Each structure stands twice: as structure tokens, then as C-alpha cells.
């Protein structure tokens, strides 16, 4: 790929998003520069997409996202170093403007609230996903070690690392509460504390005993909240509003003592009596919906997820699938829908990129396709392949969708099940344990189908015409 002039690219991006005056905050993920803009309409999408080094533009989760792939970090560092913009979240007492940034010009209809729900869930889940990936892969390492060396399980070193691998999953409600509180601009400590009370050892003992428990004379539903998702989300929303209420109505002299007291006195009973059990019930509905889908489409379920994933990424809502995946893991102990689909989507992206690399005569495109293909397969990062190859030339996108659909169906009907939340790359096949051959078959089929379809449909001439 031709060398990118990083200072020039950073300057062009800042100018075309409306200048520093239009930037509320700037942050990044693995491949995207993420702006929260004061006026989204001030950004010139068409001109930004034409900049050398830019792979695409997406607006989702309240963020103006510029896909830069391997150019991301140099450009981000250039912007932070030379432009007066704020990183990440801006701390403000009222934070009212944060809730208005994505609302301009939108009617508050069903579509609006659906978008806001997606935005909230996506941003709440993002902080802890990396931790779950790491813990999942640690469990894989321990599983492989115990498979080849069975006696190692009695070793205290193994035991301690096993505790570490289980911690992120068991205390997931606390991690979720932290993420949700940050999105709601509330004090994370309140949400964390009330959520942690659901995991308090003595409360867990009450649940295990199964004897009737009441609070203010009302029956407490005794359920296990470890590894759950929605109870923490519901509790965090409640606590955020209670915090704002009590810190506003209690006089300043008494606020520091009585506002936190009131948050706990009101928030905990509502959580343990209503919101916690409701979260478990709704989580059960989600799992039931997944089971219903599987009963109607069978092994096609992971193939449908793989085929649809590129379009979910383009809409900026791909992270929304983390919630049902988590509920599925909690309910049945494995995921035979989402993780197989995500892995096989990335493999399909790699297959299409390698097809373009072999067929094109453009040296820069060969380099781009090779880099994007390796990134998708080995690193599990698909945006450079999707935006730099798939959307850019369209034919590869057809190969990706069909490759994911067919490969996912093969894996699904062969019974592929992910037993940990490992990363969505070729390295993640180990999390399928005794169903590893099923996912490997899906990998081979996804790659081959995507490669062959893309190789048949792509040509430099058609690419130039498009």
C-alpha cells in the first residue's frame, strides 16, 4: 500500500468533520476513529470517503466513525497531539449535552427509541468485552493444558489461574454495571455496589438454601445472578436516575451523606424485588427466542449470523449481538449461534481478500487485500476487509455473505459449539473443544466458497467502472 501522509490526512479529516469547534470528543477502537460531533450534518461524508487511507465512514451508536485500518493509530496520535480536542468522555456535572448530540432532527418515534436502546447497549457492553475475550482464551489454555497433562488440575498454580479465568464471567454483572454507569454519566460506584449486593456471599447462600426470604414483607425471588447481564443493566439505569434525583433535591449541607443513603435505601429494594428478577426473566425470553430460531432454521442459524454480520457492522449495531450471546452462554453453557457465525464471517472476509489479491494486477490493491485478509483471519478484525475490499468493489461482499452462509450451515449442522468467549479469529477454533472438527469444516468451506465466488465475480475492469 502507498505510504500515507499522516499529518495531511489528519488535517483533512479535522477540516471535513467541521473543525475542532464541531468535535465534542474523539476516541478510537481497533480500526475506527470515533468522533462525537456537535452537528453530525456538518461532516462531509463524501469528501472524507475519498481521502487516501480512509476505508469508509459509518454513523452508529451516536458516533461518527471513520474507518482507517492500519492508519488509525498514527492519525489518532496526530490529532490528539496537534488539535485542541477532548479524548473520550468529557466530565460535566449535568452532562445534558451528551444526551442531545445524537438527537438533533430526529422524531421521537419507535425507530428513535430503538436506535437509542441499541446505542446504550452497545456502549455499555464495549468496556468489558475485551476482558471476557481474555478470560475466555485463558480458559482455553487451561483446558488444553489439562487435556494433555491431566494431573495438572491438582496443581495450585493451575487452580489459581483457573480462578482468574472464572472471575470475569462470575462477576460479569459488576463489569456490566460499570459500563452502563459510564454511558449514563452517573457515579459507577453506586451501580457497582448495588449489583455486587446481588453476588454477596450470604445472599448467594440464601439462594442456594431455597428458603423463603422477604424484604419489607414482600417475597424476594431467589435466583442466581452470577454471569447475568440484564439485571445489572436495569439496576444501573435505576441508580443513575435516583442519583440525579437525590443529589438535586437534598440540600448541599446534607447531600454528601443522605443522597448516597437514599440511593441505597430506594435502589436496592427495587432491584432485588423487581428489576433483578425481571432481568433474569427477560434474559430467559432472549434465550427462548434463540431456541425458537434454531428450531425453525436448525443448523442454518450460525450461517445466517455470518451472512448478516457485514451489514450489521455497516449499520454500527454489531455489538448488540453480545447481549443474546451472553444470555445463551449463561443459560446453556455454550454458544452454537453467534461465535461460530462471527468466526466464519471473518474467515469469509479473508477468503474474498485473497481472491482479490490473486486476481488484481494493481500492486497497491494486492498489498491492501493481503493485509486485510490476514487481519480478518488471524486477528479477527474485519473492518479493513469489509470497507477496503468488500464495499469498495461489491463483488467480494457477495462472496463473503455466501461463504459465511454456507460455511456457517456446515458448522451448524455438524454441531459446532463455542464453550468460551474467545476471539473471533482462526485462533478461536480451540474454544470449540470436542466440536472443533465441526468449526474447522466450517472454516474450510467458508474460505473456499468466499474465495471461489469472489474470484469468479471480481475483475479490475468492473472494479474501475464501479
Report the number of distinct structural domains present in the chain.
3
Nearest to 382 by CA among 95, 117, 54, 30: 30
pLDDT at 302 over 50: yes
Tell me the per-residue pLDDT of 56-96, one tens digit each, with 9 for 90 and over: 888 876 789 888 877 888 899 999 988 988 876 433 333 33
Are residues 275 and 331 both part of a single domain?
no
pLDDT at 97 over 50: no
Are residues 96 and 157 both part of a single domain?
no
Which of 73, 105, 137 terminates a domain? The answer is: 105
Q: Which residues, at least 6 apart from 249, have a Cβ–Cβ distance to it below 8 Å?
A: none
Which DSSP symbol is given to 87? B
Q: Which residues, at least 6 apart from 210, have a Cβ–Cβ distance to it below 8 Å?
A: 222
Rounded to whole angstroms, the Cα distance separating 274 from 143 reads 38
pTM of the model: 0.64
Are residues 227 and 277 both part of a single domain?
yes
Are residues 309 and 422 both part of a single domain?
yes
Rounded to whole angstroms, the Cα distance separating 132 from 424 reads 12
- The answer as to whether 156 is a domain residue is yes
The 3-state DSSP class for residue 54 equals coil
- The answer as to whether 252 is a domain residue is yes
- The answer as to whether 1 is a domain residue is no
- The answer as to whether 28 is a domain residue is yes
- The answer as to whether 326 is a domain residue is yes
Are residues 448 and 326 both part of a single domain?
yes
Are residues 203 and 310 both part of a single domain?
no
Which DSSP symbol is given to 50? T
Are residues 362 and 228 both part of a single domain?
no
Q: Residue 64 maps to which CATH number?
A: 3.30.1360.60
28 vs 127, residue with greater confidence = 28
Q: Which residues, at least 6 apart from 204, have a Cβ–Cβ distance to it below 8 Å?
A: 224, 226
Rounded to whole angstroms, the Cα distance separating 450 from 437 reads 20
Q: How many CB atoms lie within 10 A of CB 153?
A: 12
Burial class (CB in 10 A: 0-12, 13-18, 19+), 37: buried
Are residues 454 and 373 both part of a single domain?
yes
- The answer as to whether 43 is a domain residue is yes
Nearest to 392 by CA among 362, 436, 435, 422: 362
- The answer as to whether 436 is a domain residue is yes
User: What long-range pairs does 41-44 form, CB within 8 A, spacing at least 24?
Assistant: 41/104, 41/105, 42/17, 42/18, 43/16, 43/17, 43/18, 44/16, 44/17
Are residues 435 and 320 both part of a single domain?
yes
H helices of 226-270, in order, are 230-249, 252-270
Rounded to whole angstroms, the Cα distance separating 259 from 246 reads 5
Tell me the per-residue pLDDT of 355-409, one tens digit each, with 9 for 90 and over: 999 999 888 888 888 888 888 898 787 877 887 788 778 889 999 999 999 999 9
- What pLDDT score was predicted for residue 241? 94
H helices of 149-184, in order, are 156-170, 172-183
Are residues 283 and 326 both part of a single domain?
no
104-113, 192-201, 330-339 — which one is most confidently predicted on average?
192-201
Are residues 426 and 448 both part of a single domain?
yes
- The answer as to whether 243 is a domain residue is yes
Which of 55, 78, 105 terminates a domain? The answer is: 105
Rounded to whole angstroms, the Cα distance separating 364 from 370 reads 10
Mean pLDDT of 320-325: 73
- Residue 37's H or E segment, with its range, is strand 32-37
346 vs 382, residue with greater confidence = 346
Owning domain of residue 136: 114-290
Are residues 242 and 326 both part of a single domain?
no
What rounded mean pLDDT belongs to the chain? 84
Per-residue buried b or exposed e for 263-298, using 16+ beta carbons within 10 Å of the residue's own CB: bbeebbebbbbebbbebbeebeebbeebeebbeeee
pLDDT at 121 over 80: no
Which of 81, 105, 129 terminates a domain? The answer is: 105
Amino acid at each position: 500500500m502507498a505510504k500515507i501522509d499522516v499529518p495531511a490526512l489528519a488535517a483533512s479529516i479535522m477540516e471535513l468533520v467541521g473543525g475542532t469547534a464541531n468535535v465534542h470528543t474523539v476516541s478510537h477502537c481497533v480500526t475506527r476513529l470515533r468522533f462525537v460531533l456537535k452537528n453530525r450534518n456538518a461532516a462531509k461524508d463524501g469528501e472524507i470517503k475519498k481521502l487516501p487511507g480512509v476505508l469508509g465512514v459509518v454513523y452508529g451508536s451516536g458516533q461518527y466513525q471513520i474507518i482507517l485500518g492500519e492508519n488509525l493509530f498514527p492519525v489518532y496520535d496526530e490529532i490528539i497531539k496537534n488539535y485542541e480536542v477532548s479524548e473520550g468522555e468529557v466530565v460535566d456535572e449535568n452532562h445534558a449535552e451528551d444526551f442531545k448530540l445524537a438527537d438533533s432532527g430526529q422524531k421521537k418515534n419507535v425507530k428513535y427509541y430503538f436506535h437509542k436502546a441499541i446505542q446504550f447497549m452497545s456502549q455499555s457492553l464495549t468496556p468489558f468485552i475485551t476482558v471476557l475475550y481474555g478470560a475466555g482464551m485463558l480458559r482455553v489454555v487451561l483446558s488444553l493444558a489439562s487435556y494433555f497433562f491431566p494431573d495438572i488440575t491438582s496443581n495450585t498454580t493451575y487452580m489459581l489461574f483457573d480462578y482468574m479465568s472464572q472471575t470475569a464471567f462470575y462477576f460479569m454483572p459488576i463489569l456490566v454495571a460499570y459500563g452502563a454507569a459510564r454511558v449514563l454519566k452517573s457515579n459507577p460506584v453506586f451501580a457497582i455496589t448495588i449489583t455486587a449486593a446481588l453476588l454477596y456471599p450470604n445472599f448467594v447462600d440464601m439462594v442456594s438454601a431455597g428458603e423463603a426470604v422477604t424484604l419489607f414483607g414482600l417475597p424476594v425471588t431467589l435466583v442466581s445472578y452470577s454471569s447475568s447481564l440484564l439485571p445489572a443493566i436495569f439496576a444501573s439505569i435505576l441508580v443513575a436516575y435516583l442519583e440525579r434525583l437525590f443529589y438535586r433535591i437534598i440540600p448541599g449541607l446534607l447531600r454528601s451523606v443522605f443522597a448516597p443513603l437514599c440511593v441505597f435505601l430506594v435502589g436496592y429494594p427495587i432491584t432485588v424485588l423487581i428489576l433483578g428478577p425481571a432481568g433474569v426473566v427477560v434474559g430467559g425470553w432472549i434465550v427462548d427466542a434463540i431456541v425458537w430460531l434454531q428450531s425453525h432454521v436448525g443448523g442454518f442459524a450460525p450461517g445466517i449470523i455470518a451472512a448478516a454480520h457485514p451489514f450489521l457492522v455497516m449499520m454500527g449495531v454489531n455489538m448488540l449481538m453480545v447481549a443474546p450471546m451472553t444470555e445463551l452462554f449463561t443459560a446453556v453453557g455454550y454458544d452454537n449461534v453467534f461465535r461460530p457465525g462471527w468466526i466464519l464471517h471473518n474467515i469469509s472476509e479473508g477468503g474474498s481478500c485473497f481472491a482479490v489479491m490473486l486476481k488484481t494486477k494493481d500492486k497497491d490493491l494486492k498489498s491492501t487485500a493481503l493485509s486485510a485478509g490476514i487481519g480478518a483471519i488471524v486477528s479477527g478484525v474485519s473492518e479493513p476487509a469489509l470497507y477496503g475490499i468488500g464495499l469498495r468493489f461489491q463483488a467480494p461482499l457477495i462472496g463473503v455473505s455466501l461463504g459465511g452462509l454456507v460455511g456457517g450451515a456446515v458448522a451448524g449442522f455438524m454441531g459446532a459449539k463455542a464453550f468460551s468467549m474467545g476471539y473471533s479469529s482462526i485462533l478461536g477454533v480451540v474454544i470449540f473443544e470436542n466440536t472443533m472438527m465441526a468449526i474447522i469444516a466450517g472454516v474450510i468451506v467458508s474460505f473456499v466458497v468466499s474465495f471461489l465466488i469472489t474470484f469468479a465475480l471480481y475483475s479490475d475492469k468492473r472494479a474501475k467502472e464501479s
